[in-house]
């Protein structure tokens, strides 16, 4: 199953609402997923929409801390990118709701709203500071099977995290004259990502907000 997203989340100061649109396919469109229980019921599609919205809103509000070993093939140094979530929206959070939904051609289209708490708004203010920069990149996740019941979400999270790595790398390539050895900082999702199939992988194009807190050059080691 492939889920496409068309999302333009807005933070409206007066209404204090985050918003994004997503789509969930009710029928499989890739043979990899034939072992799953299709077609999805409307109830299952609603649940998936809420789970995905919670993942993306969490990534917008809290984001992650990251540690990135850039790696260099010539020196035999492997590339490693580690993300640590800084918070999450739990299942059943009353601030998360589906505000509009439609079913057409075996696809659920839904607008998702989230009303952040005072503490969450402070997190959002951090991501709007002048020191935060923006970068966009494409990441990839596997489409292998057979799949466990929650693997559809793990695959999308994997692609999103790979896009975060690619965004940090792209920012470093644009800003640093020499490739550093290690980088640490914080990163959050700017808006809901877009997903698509590319060369047998689930790909996602996503835009992030990034703050780099430390850069360690190779010369230090």
Nearest residue to 150 (alpha-carbon basis) of 57, 55, 22: 55
Residue environment code for 190-219, b if the CB has 16+ CB neighbours within 10 A, otherwise e:
bbbbbbeeeeebbbbbbbbbbbbeebeeee
Give pLDDT tens digits for 41-93: 889 999 999 999 999 999 999 999 999 998 777 666 788 999 999 999 999 99
What is the rounded CA–CA span in Å between residue 126 and residue 34?
43
Q: Are 211 and 175 in contact (CB under 8 A)?
A: no
Q: Which of 14-18, 129-133, 198-202 has the lowest average pLDDT?
A: 14-18
**Confidence band for 97, pLDDT divided at 50, 70 and 90:** very high
Query: Can you give the pTM of this predicted structure?
Result: 0.84
Give pLDDT tens digits for 34-47: 446 678 888 999 99
Nearest residue to 56 (alpha-carbon basis) of 5, 101, 107: 5
What average pLDDT does the structure give for the chain? 85
What is the rounded CA–CA span in Å between residue 1 and residue 3?
7
Residue environment code for 134-156, b if the CB has 16+ CB neighbours within 10 A, otherwise e:
ebebbbbbebeeebeeebbeebb
Give pLDDT tens digits for 137-154: 999 988 765 555 457 888
Residue 119 pLDDT more than 50? Answer: yes
Which residues make Cβ contacts (< 8 Å) with residue 200, sequence separation at least 6?
143
Residue 215 pLDDT more than 50? Answer: yes
Strand ranges across the sheet with 18-25: 18-25, 107-114, 96-104
| 8-state DSSP, 30 | S
């Amino acid at each position: 199953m492939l889920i496409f997203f068309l999302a333009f989340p807005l933070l409206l100061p007066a209404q204090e609402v985050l918003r994004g649109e997503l789509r969930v396919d009710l029928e499989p469109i890739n043979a990899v997923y034939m072992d799953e229980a299709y077609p999805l019921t409307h109830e299952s599609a609603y649940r998936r929409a809420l789970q995905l919205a919670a993942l993306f809103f969490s990534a917008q509000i809290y984001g992650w801390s990251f540690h990135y070993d850039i790696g260099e093939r010539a020196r035999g140094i492997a590339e490693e990118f580690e993300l640590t979530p800084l918070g999450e929206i739990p299942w059943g959070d009353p601030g998360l709701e589906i505000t509009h939904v439609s079913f057409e051609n075996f696809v659920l289209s839904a607008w998702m709203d989230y009303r952040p708490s005072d503490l969450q708004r402070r997190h959002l203010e951090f991501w709007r500071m002048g020191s935060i920069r923006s970068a966009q990149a494409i990441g990839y996740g596997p489409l292998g099977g057979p799949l466990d019941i929650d693997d559809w979400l793990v695959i999308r999270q994997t692609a999103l995290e790979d896009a975060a790595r690619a965004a940090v790398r792209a920012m470093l390539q644009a800003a640093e004259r020499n490739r550093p050895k290690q980088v640490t900082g914080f990163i959050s999702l700017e808006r809901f990502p877009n997903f698509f199939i590319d060369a047998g992988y689930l790909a996602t194009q996503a835009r992030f907000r990034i703050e780099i807190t430390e850069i360690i050059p190779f010369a230090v080691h």
